[in-house]
């Protein structure tokens, strides 16, 4: 073989190895990026869950008020009953609250002194989903109960559902 041919083949071999190494580097980088995207998605789900819990806690449709003065961390039982029945009563209200809460399950468990369980809103997902749960201790107010028994303790639970990235099912 001529010397020049050998030199060209040498150069080609060097370039070949260089691009192989570059390829390995790019594969490693893309795997890192994928991990970062999944972390971002997880952060997003957590943020979404907290936002929804915050939204629910301050919703005028559920909060206790006394002559329009809001009571912190308090839910009105009569409003809860009304809301449970009417949020999906019409197409318009269904669309409105679906866009507000998304794929969420909102429940309230009355724990002391009475024991009750309310499903306030249900638009949960099933199957291979990620669910994040947020629980908040609350007061429950019953306007029709006697004055010394109108407040009880409960727990608000907000479960937010998302589909993981890469899952098309």
Partner 1 sequence: MVWVKKKGIMEVQFSWIFILVVGAIILLFFASIVTKQKQSSDIKFSGTLVKRMRSILTGVEVSSGTSHKIDIPNARIELTCDTYSIGRTGGSYKNKIVFSPSLIRGDEMVTWTLPWSAPFKIANLLLLTGLNTKYVFIDGIGDFDQEFYDSFPANITKEIANTPFNVPLENYDKVKFVFVNATDSEVLSSNLFFLQSMKDSDVRAVNIKSDGHLGFFVKNGANFQFEGESFYIGDALKPAAVFAEDLEMYECSLSKAMKRFNFVTKLYMNRTQMLANANISECPAAYYSTNQLEQIEAYTRSFDISDLESLNDAIDSLEYRNSLLEQKSCPYIY
Task: Give residues in contact with partner 1 (CB under 8 A).
Answer: 3-4, 7-8, 11, 15, 44, 47, 51, 54-55, 57-58, 60-61, 63, 65-68, 70, 76, 78-79, 81-83, 85-86, 92-93, 96, 99-100, 143-144
Q: For residues 10 and 128, which CB has a smaller minimum distance to partner 1 in the complex?
A: 10
Q: What is the per-residue DSSP string for 111-126?
A: EESS-EEEEEEE----
Residues 164, 169: Cα–Cα separation, whole Å? 10
Query: Cβ of residue 128: shortest distance to partner 1, in angstroms?
Result: 25
Query: What does the alpha-carbon distance between residue 39 and residue 29 come to, in Å, rounded to a whole number?
Result: 15
How many Cα neighbours within 13 Å face the side chain of 39? 6
Considering the complex, state which of residue 7 and residue 149 has its C-beta at the smaller distance from partner 1.
7
CB of 169 to partner 1, least distance (A): 26
In the block, tokens 């050998």 appear at 6
**How near is the Cβ of 29 to partner 1 at its closest, in Å?**
10
* Sign of the CA dihedral with 53 first, then 55, 60, and 61 last: negative
Smaller CB separation from partner 1, 4 or 128: 4
Interaxial angle between packed helices 3-57 and 91-101, expressed in degrees from 0 to 180 and rounded to the nearest 10: 120
User: At closest approach, how far in Å is the CB of 127 from partner 1?
Assistant: 24
Nearer to partner 1, 77 or 159 (CB): 77
């Amino acid at each position: 073989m001529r010397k020049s041919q050998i030199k060209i083949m040498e150069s080609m071999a060097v370039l070949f190895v260089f691009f192989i190494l570059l390829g390995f580097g790019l594969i490693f980088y893309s795997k890192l990026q994928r991990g970062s995207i999944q972390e971002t998605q997880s952060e997003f789900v957590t943020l979404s869950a907290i936002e929804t819990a915050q939204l629910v806690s301050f919703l005028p449709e559920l909060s206790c008020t006394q002559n329009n003065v809001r009571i912190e961390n308090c839910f009105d039982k009569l409003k809860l009953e009304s809301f449970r029945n009417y949020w999906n009563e019409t197409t318009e209200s269904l669309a409105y609250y679906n866009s507000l809460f998304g794929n969420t399950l909102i429940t309230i468990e009355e724990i002391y002194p009475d024991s009750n369980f309310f499903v306030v809103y249900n638009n949960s997902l099933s199957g291979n989903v990620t669910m994040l749960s947020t629980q908040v201790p609350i007061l429950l107010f019953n306007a029709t109960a006697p004055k010394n028994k109108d407040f009880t303790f409960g727990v608000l639970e907000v479960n937010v559902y998302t589909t993981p990235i890469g899952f098309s099912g």
